Each structure stands twice: as structure tokens, then as C-alpha cells.
A and B are shown apart, each in its own frame.
Chain A
Amino acid sequence: MSLAIDVHDLVKRYGKRTVVDHVSLGIEQGRICGFLGPNGSGKTTTLRMICGLLTPDGGGGTCLGHDLVRERDAIKRRAGYMTQRFGLYEDLTIRENLEFVARVYGLDRRKERVEQSLERLGLTTRQNQLAGALSGGWKQRLALAACVLHEPRLLLLDEPTAGVDPKARRAFWDEIHAYAAEGITVLVSTHYMDEAERCHEIAYIAYGELMARGSAADIIRQSGLSAFIARGPGADRLAPRLRDADGVTAAAAFGATLHVCGPDHDALVRAIEPFRHDENLDWKEAEPTLEDVFIHLMGRARDNALDG
């Protein structure tokens, strides 16, 4: 299987600040890779380097077999990049936007392609509405449609579902899976855990450094984290008291339930010991969640960054 994205040691600096620090990424064709990490961790910068919008300060590689720096134009023609902010023209109609994109890529059978795209979107009846009049969810679906109009082999999506309601998000992800089934590779950045779980694999980046790689299950297993759940009246109120305890990475209330996790099983047990005798509470060992792992990784990355 050939790699759709194969980049090594990508580095990007702004002044003295290193935004992306030796990130290597290989993604097989037809896979959906979720790109996760805290705000400002370098996700957007990495995506921009892969699609040729930014020149890496170090490292390199290929995207769809084209060199990242030298063959920018070839990459641009064969990849689709969806910006974080709605990148189409709000003062053009839905149809005009799609026609513009079709012209920019010099596509043949323009009318036909635009019709097909409108149909697939289900926007045929609204094609003459201004794009600015669409709701957030529809805007994102339109942006995605515009992004795939030139039949790219790779999709780079930068937080495509931020601020979109769950139903529209689900529809969006169904479409992403449909494209993947057609053999298109997708690299999608997101903050949503449920979306991360819908990816074939995940790459986690923090402070410009790639921290974890693999499927959701792999990442949880490799993390070595332990977790406990406490149920019962007042369980959720323990979160602030446990948060700073030794051996606890994260303690969070989910409704009335408390969820704690830590890297060392014994240390975690010791930390919750004082509260285990409360007979109102029902303590149970649990699977750490992806979120636990990410919060843990983020803490470790920060330590690394501070040490460096």
C-alpha cells in the first residue's frame, strides 16, 4: 500500500517560536486519519505545510507522491484543502461558488459536475441562494463539496465541524466515510472525541510535537493509564479535590459521575483511598477514555516543552 502522505521531520518556526517540531506522518491511501491536539498545537500549520500553503523550515517529504516544496502546484491540483474558516464567497450563490471552483481547477464538463455536486449535497433547490445565508452545518457541507469537486485523491480538512450541530456533524462524517470508501485519503483535524473514534487512525500533536499515533484502541492501550469511576451522591463534587492529588492526571465530573485517571495504577489507588470508604459512593475501575489519554499526553508534552 502506498502512502498518500509521507512527510518527515517537518519543522516550522515563527521567529523564535517553533510551532511544528519534527513531525513525521505517514498515512496510507484510503484511510481517515484524525489529527488531534490542543489549540495552537500546530495542527493547522502542519496541514498548511502538507498542502503547500506554507514552506517548511526543515524536513520534507511527499504528498500523493509529489515533493512538498518543489511540486506544490501538482499537490494543489490533486489535493483538496478545507480551511477552518468558511473559505467560499458568502456573496456568491451556492451555484456560483461551485462554478468558480470548477473554473479555477479548469475542470471539463463544468455544468454537469456542478449539477452532480448540488444533487449529492441536496442543495439543487437552493442553488441560487447566497452561500452566506446558509447555516453553519450547510456551509461546511458546501465547503466540502467544493473541496472534492476536482476529484482530489487527498482531503485535508481543518476542523471542519467546529460549531456544527450533532446531526449535521453526523451527516458530514457519513460523507467523509463515503469518500474514503472511494479510495480518497483524509486527514482531518478535530477536537471532538466522538469524531476521533470515527477515524481509522489518530495522530495526536501537542506543542508542535507528535505524541501518539495509531487507532483509538491502540492509543488507549499504549497509554498505560488507569481509571476509576465513582457513582453516588456528591461524587461529582470530589473532582476539584482530586484534581491536584499526586498520581491523578485528570479528575472530571460527568453529570453525577466522577471520572479519575492517572498513569500509575498504584498511585491512583492511593490518591482515591481517602474517599473510597464513603459508603454512598460506588467506586469501579474503568477503561480510560481517549480524552483521558489526550489530557495526559498534553501534560507530558508541556513538561517536555518546559524542559526543552
Chain B
Amino acid sequence: MWQRLLAIIVKEIQQLRRDRLTFAMMFGVPIMQLLLFGYAIDTDPHHLPAAVISADDTTVTRTIVSALSSTGYMTFTERPRSEAEANALLQRGAVQFVVTIPSDFTRRLVRGERAQVLIDADATDPLAAANPLASAQPAIEQALRRDLTGPLASLNPRPGAVELVLQRRYNPEGKARLNIVPGLLAVILTMTMVMMTALAVTRERERGTMENLLATPVGPIEVMIGKIVPYIAIGSVQVVVILLISRGLFGIETEGSVALLGLGTALFITVNLAIGFTISTVTQNQLQAMQASVFFLLPSILLSGFMFPFRGMPQWAQWLGEVLPATHFMRVVRGLMLKGAGFGDVSAELLAMCVLLLVVSALAISRYRVTLD
């Protein structure tokens, strides 16, 4: 019995050793997960970009701005001149917060009237907005108490003198599903589109039908497009189903242009199919194609901003994320569905996907062989 058992164990190890990709996956995936979950993912992101419009430049207002920035949550990167400019920054996703200090702030504070500071937050991702907003009020009060000493001590406000007006934009109720559901569109499409094409082409090779196909007058472009088109249709149906369910069950309406959403989706589907096709040119069998697809899917879920705030990741992880089409599509979908973004707001993301498509397609075509050479 032991001998037979040993025979199977030895055979299994020998086979495993030859299957390099499986082997790599078994170590690659856990290491990748460990690094991503351990380092890259931070559900309490700091140093979020923020804009400040201060119509009242005094020691007091400067104290307030520096108090907000010293919470570590906000980094003031922009000083828009108008409210419209600030809104555009928020819509585009260039900043997460806009802090507005009205022109009569100091005057009202001195007079002992209630002075207001307005914070507009991009709350599409409620997780990323929660802590910065919660820390703002205590930080401001503490800073004013500390800094306004000596002759300025009279300015030291009574508790509650500074009123923080918070506006959670795009997702006022802070519902997580408002953020998750549109993002799912990106994840589901990545999962199915990459895997389906990778399998479709590898299957031909594994089953030996590729040789037969190559011996016919069918050209490589015809094979590629012919293989991709049915999946574009499937992907489109998936999108419609997801959008209908989001609307019917979760009440998520698409705020922006549906046509633009369609364009972005078509582009995203195509990029994913091209990636699947590229995977199929390097894998030998369907199992490998499957593994490679999972290997690609994992960062697409973790690093794209789908599960965790994108800005919470360290710089290297953000750079990695930028290379993933899901990251860009995620921004397009959330922008269009939740923020009502326009073409100008998402054009950079669309362009990024176009670049990725070009690079991946070039790779796929350069790897694809018309002959069996």
C-alpha cells in the first residue's frame, strides 16, 4: 500500500515540476496577495489631494487650512480661483475634497457670530471620505485653541463657533454599494472577457484544431476578429444586464451620457479581449490560460480601486494600477454613473485605455503565427 501511495506521490511531484506555470502560480499568487493586502491596501488612506478656496486670507484661515492638512488626511494640491473650477477638479477626480472658506469668515468669528467652513467631499468611495471628514472638526477646534494666543486670544472661539458644513457629493448617504456596483462592471468584464478569449484560442491549439484551421485560407486577422466578435456581443449583454439590475434593484441611475458609457465599455471590452488573445499566444493549454487569466484578474480587483481606495495605495502600487485597464474603466464608470461626468472629465482615462489597447494588440499580433513555425 505504501509503495503504491509513494508511486502516486512521486509521479505527482514529477508532473508538477514540469508544469512551470502552475508552479509559478502556486508561489506567485500567494506572494502577490500577501504584498497587495499587506502593503498596498489601506482602507484608511491619507494624503488625499484637496483644493482650497480661501476668499479670506488671515492668520485664522491659514491656521484652519494647516490644521486640516496636519490631520494627515488632506494634502492641498490645488488653489482653484472659482467654485466652478473647484467643481471641475472634483468631477474629474483630481481632488477628493474642496475646502471653501467664505470671505467673511474671520470677520464673523471676531464678531462672535457663527463662522462656516465648507467641505465638499467626493464620496463615491465612502470609505475614503469617512475618516478625513470625521477628523476635520476636532482638528480645526484644537488648532484654533492652540494658535490663537496672546493678542489673538480674544479670537479664540467658543466651542461650536466654527461650523463645518460637510457635503458628501455623488453619494450623499455614503452607501458602499453605490461605489461597488458600477465597479463590478469592470471586474465582471475583466473576468469573463480575458478568460473567454484566452480559452477560446488556447482550446484550438490544445485540441489540435488550430493546425487544421491554419491549413485553410483563413487569415490570422480573421481568426482574431472572428474569435473576438461573439465575446463583444456577450460582453455587451453583460453590461446591459448589470446596468438594468443596478437600476432596478439598487436604484443606481446613470447620471452621465449613456452613449459615452457605451463607448468606454466597448473600448474596455476590446482591451480585455486583446489581453485574453495575448495570453492565449503564450499559454499551451486551457489550464494555463485559466491560471494566467486569474493572475491578471487579481490585481485588476485589488489595485484598480475597486475594493480599496486607489489613493490609499503606495506609489508603486498606484503605478501598477495605472497600467491596468480596469483602473481606468473604473474611473470612467464611476464618473459617468455617479458623478455625471462629461467627455472632458473622462477623456484622459479613455485615452489611457486606447494606449493600452494599442500596446496589447501590437503584442498579440507580433506573437500570433500564421504558420506553425
Residues of A within 8 A of B (CB): 48, 51-55, 73, 76-77, 81, 83, 85-90, 101, 104-106
Contacts and interface: CB of A to CB of B under 8 A. Distances in A.
B215 A76 contact: yes
Contact of A101 (B211, B214, B216, B371): B216
Contacts of B211: 53, 83, 85, 87
B372 interface: yes
Contacts of B216: 76, 101, 104-105
B15 interface: no
A131 B19 CA distance: 31
A53 B214 contact: yes
Contacts of A101: 216
A53 B371 contact: yes
A159 B198 CA distance: 30
Contacts of A88: 209, 212
Contacts of B215: 51-53, 76, 81, 83, 87
Which residue, B207, B208, B215, B373, has most C-beta atoms of chain A within 10 A?
B215
A53 to B, nearest CB: 5
Contact of B373 (A55, A86, A87, A90): A55
Contacts of B251: none
A106 B372 CA distance: 23
A55 B208 contact: no
B372 A73 contact: no
6 pairs of A and B residues whose beta carbons are closest in the complex: A87-B212, A85-B208, A81-B215, A104-B216, A83-B211, A76-B217
B372 A104 contact: no
Given A53-B215, A53-B372, A81-B215, 14 more contacts: A48-B372, A51-B215, A53-B214, A55-B371, A76-B217, A77-B217, A81-B212, A83-B211, A83-B212, A86-B208, A87-B212, A87-B215, A89-B209, A90-B207
Contact of B208 (A52, A83, A106): A83
A54 B208 contact: no
A286 to B, nearest CB: 42
Contacts, number: 47
Interface of B: 207-209, 211-218, 371-373
Nearest to A156: B215
Contacts of B213: 87, 104
A90 B214 CA distance: 17
Contacts of B372: 48, 53-54
Chain B facing A: main interface SS: loop
Contacts of A52: 215, 371
A55 B369 CA distance: 11
Contacts of B207: 89-90
A54 B211 CA distance: 11
A77 B219 CA distance: 12
Nearest to B211: A83
Contacts of A104: 213, 216-218
Contacts of A77: 217
Nearest to A79: B215
Given A53-B372, A54-B372, A87 B217 contact: no
Contacts of A53: 211, 214-215, 371-372
A81 B371 CA distance: 14
Which residue, A48, A54, A87, A101, has most C-beta atoms of chain B within 10 A?
A87
Contacts of A54: 371-373
24 contacts: A48-B372, A51-B215, A52-B371, A53-B211, A53-B214, A53-B215, A54-B371, A54-B373, A76-B217, A77-B217, A81-B212, A81-B215, A83-B208, A83-B211, A85-B208, A87-B208, A87-B209, A87-B215, A88-B209, A89-B207, A89-B209, A101-B216, A104-B213, A104-B217
Which residue, B217, B218, B372, has most C-beta atoms of chain A within 10 A?
B217
Which residue, A83, A86, A101, A105, has most C-beta atoms of chain B within 10 A?
A83
A104 B214 CA distance: 11
A76 B212 CA distance: 11
Given A52-B371, A53-B371, A53-B372, A73 B208 contact: no
B216 to A, nearest CB: 5
A86 B371 CA distance: 18
A236 to B, nearest CB: 35
Nearest to B372: A53
A134 B209 CA distance: 16
A30 to B, nearest CB: 22
B121 to A, nearest CB: 53
Contacts of B208: 83, 85-87
A68 B372 CA distance: 15
Contacts of A89: 207, 209
B196 to A, nearest CB: 15
Nearest to A48: B372
Nearest to A132: B207
Nearest to B204: A89
A53 B216 CA distance: 10
B170 to A, nearest CB: 47
